[in-house]
Structure 1
Amino acid sequence: MTKKPRILITNDDGVDAPGIKVLEQIARQISDDVWVVAPLTNQSGVGHKFTLGQELKIEQRDERIYAVNGSPADCVVTGMTHLLKKKPADIVLSGVNRGQNIADLVNCSGTAAGAREGALQGALGIALSQSMDFSNEHLIEWDCSKAYGAQVVEQIIKSARGTETYYNINFPRCTADEVSGIEVVPHQRFSTSPFEYYPSDNAGKHFVAILETPKPLTPEADCVRLLDHNAITVTPLLLQQTDMTELERLSGTLQFSKVSRDEG
C-alpha cells in the first residue's frame, strides 16, 4: 500500500447523504487523494445490483465528486474502470451508512456491496455503518464514526493481507467516550430470514420489512457486541463463497447417468 493511497468513496444512501460527508472526513485523515462516486438517489437494500441494459449518467458535483444514477456497485465500477482507469483506487470505502449493517443484512446491504465490488476490482474494500435506533428514524448521531473511523480504517489497512477479504465495520449508537473497544467478530447468522410480509393500509398492497429480530442471538457475534456492549465491530468477509468442506464431502459422490435421446 502506498504512503498516501488513492481512496474511492461510495455509499448506498446517496451522494447528498450526511454519512458520506463523515466518510470524506475520515478518508482525508488518511490520504489527500480522495474521490467520491456515489448514487444520485438512495439505494438502500439493493445489495450487489448492477443496472444492466440501461444507460447511466455521470454528474460531476465538484472536483473529484461525482454522482451516478445507479447502484453502489455501478458507482464503484464507474470509478475504478473509467474515472480512475489510469490509476485505480487502492482502497474503496463505502458508507458511512445511516444505520447498522450487521448479521445476515450484509447479504442485501448496498453499503457492503460497495466494499465487495471494490475488492472484486482489486482494491481493499471496507464498509462502514453507524448504528441507530430505528424506532426513532429522525435521530442518528455520528459521534463514534467521526471519533474512531480513521483509526479503525488505518489499522485494517496496515493489517490487511491482499484483497480476497473485505471488511464490515459498525459503530455503536453511543457517545465516543462510551465505546467499549474494537472487536473482530463474526456476523450473526439468523435462524431464519428477518424479512417478512407486512400489509399496507392501501388495499392490495404490502411492504417487505423487518418486524423483529430472529432469536436466539450468538453472544460473540456482531449483533450483541455492537448493540448491547457498545463495541466497534469489525467483520472480515470472503469473496470466495464456496463451502470448501461441503465441496470435499460431495466430491466423487454425485452420480451421472447419461440420458440417450430417441432420435427416431
Structure 2
Amino acid sequence: MSVFALPDVPFDLSHHRILVTNDDGFGAAGIERLEAIARRLSDDVWVAAPEYEQSGTGHSLTLTQPLRFREMGERRFAVRGTPTDCVLLAVNKIIPGKRPTLVLSGFNRGANMGEDVTYSGTVAAAMEGTLLGIPSIALSQSVYPGATDIDWAGAEGAGEQVIRWLASAGWPPEVLMNVNFPDARRGPVSQMEIVVQGQRDPADIQFEQRIDTRGETYFWIGYRRSREHLVEGTDIKAVREGRVSVTPLHLDLTHTATMTALEQAARAAGND
C-alpha cells in the first residue's frame, strides 16, 4: 500500500495551454469548479464540453449525426457530441494555433473507479487526449454512501495540489491518470494513495423496473458499491477510506501473459 500525504509542489503550469472538458455537460457544477482551478494554473485555458450530459457514453464517437458547437463565452464552447468528440474538435478545429499541452476532464459527479473506467465519458475524454499525444487527467468526486447531494470540497480542496504534483512527476505518453476524490464529509482530505483499478461486485448492479403510461415495462440501470467488497491497494478502498486515489491507466489493452501462454500452446501443438 502506497499512502502519502497530499504533496505540496509549487510546479509552474503557467506556460501550459489547458483544455477542460467533462461528460456531465457544459453547465455542470463540477466543470465550473475544475475550470476555476485550471485558471489558477494558467491564463491559457479553453473549455469544450458536451452541450448535454453524456455520462456512460464511454469512448464513443458521433458518426451518424453532424457535430456542432456553440461559443458560450471567451474560449468556452458547448459541443453537441460526446466527450471524445469534444476533445477531437477542440484540438483539431476549435483551438487555433498551438495545441493544448494538458487535458483536464471532470470534475465528474460521482466516482469513476473499478470497471467504471470502461463506461466513463470522463475517462474517455482523457483517453482521447492521450491518444492525441497530450498528457491527460480524469478527475472525479465520489459521493458518500447514502448521500443524496454532492459535496465538492474534496475535489476543490485537493484538486490543484494533485494536478500540480502529477504534472511535475510526469508519466509515459501512452498512459492517462485517473484521479478520484473522497467525500470530505467523512473527514479532512489529506492523503492520497497510488493504487490499481479495483473491481465491482457483480451483485451491486441494480435494475429498477417501472411501468410507463401505456402499461409497458422499462428499466433504470444503476448500482451501489458493497461495503464488504473492498480490496487493499485499490481505488475503491482508498476512496472509501477517505484518501485521494491515483491510478495510471494504460491504453494498450494487450494481456501479455496470456499472449505468451497462447504462443506456448501453439508451439506445443506443432504450429511454429
Q: Indicate whether the TM-score tops 0.5.
A: yes
Which of 91, 99, 124 aligns to 2:135? It is 124
Report the Cα offset of residue 214 of structure 1. 8.8
CA RMSD of aligned residues (A): 2.3
Give the number of the structure with larger relative contact order, counting CA–CA contacts within 8 Å between residues 6 or more apart. Answer: 2
Give TM-score scaled by structure 2 length: 0.86
- Matched with 2:217 is 204
1:218 alignment partner, SS class: coil
Give deviations 1:192-227, integer Å, cap 9, x for gaps.
384343312433211222155496321221111111
1:200 alignment partner, SS class: strand
Alpha-carbon distance in 1 for matches of 2:258, 2:250: 17
Within the alignment, does 1:44 sit opposite 2:55 as a pair? yes
Matches within 5 A, 1:129-148: 129-133=140-144, 135-137=146-148, 139-148=149-158
Paired residues, what number? 255
Give TM-score scaled by structure 1 length: 0.89
Alpha-carbon contact 1:190-1:215 (below 8 Å) kept = no
Report the Cα offset of residue 34 of structure 1. 0.5
Query: Structure 1 residues 2 and 31, CA, compared in 2 at 3 Å: closer, same or farther?
Result: closer
- Report the residue type matching 2:80 in the other structure: N
Within the alignment, does 1:190 sit opposite 2:204 as a pair? no
- Matched with 2:181 is 171
Query: Structure 1 residues 170 and 212, CA, compared in 2 at 3 Å: closer, same or farther?
Result: closer
Matches within 5 A, 1:10-49: 10-49=21-60
1:28 alignment partner, SS class: helix
The runs of 5 or more residues in structure 1 that have no matched partner are 258-264
Alpha-carbon distance in 2 for matches of 1:71, 1:248: 37
- Matched with 2:235 is 222
Alpha-carbon contact 1:144-1:176 (below 8 Å) kept = no
Alpha-carbon distance in 2 for matches of 1:50, 1:190: 26
Alpha-carbon distance in 1 for matches of 2:184, 2:135: 28
Matches within 5 A, 1:225-240: 225-227=238-240, 229-240=241-252
- Report the residue type matching 1:245 in the other structure: A
Query: Structure 1 residues 193 and 149, CA, compared in 2 at 3 Å: closer, same or farther?
Result: same
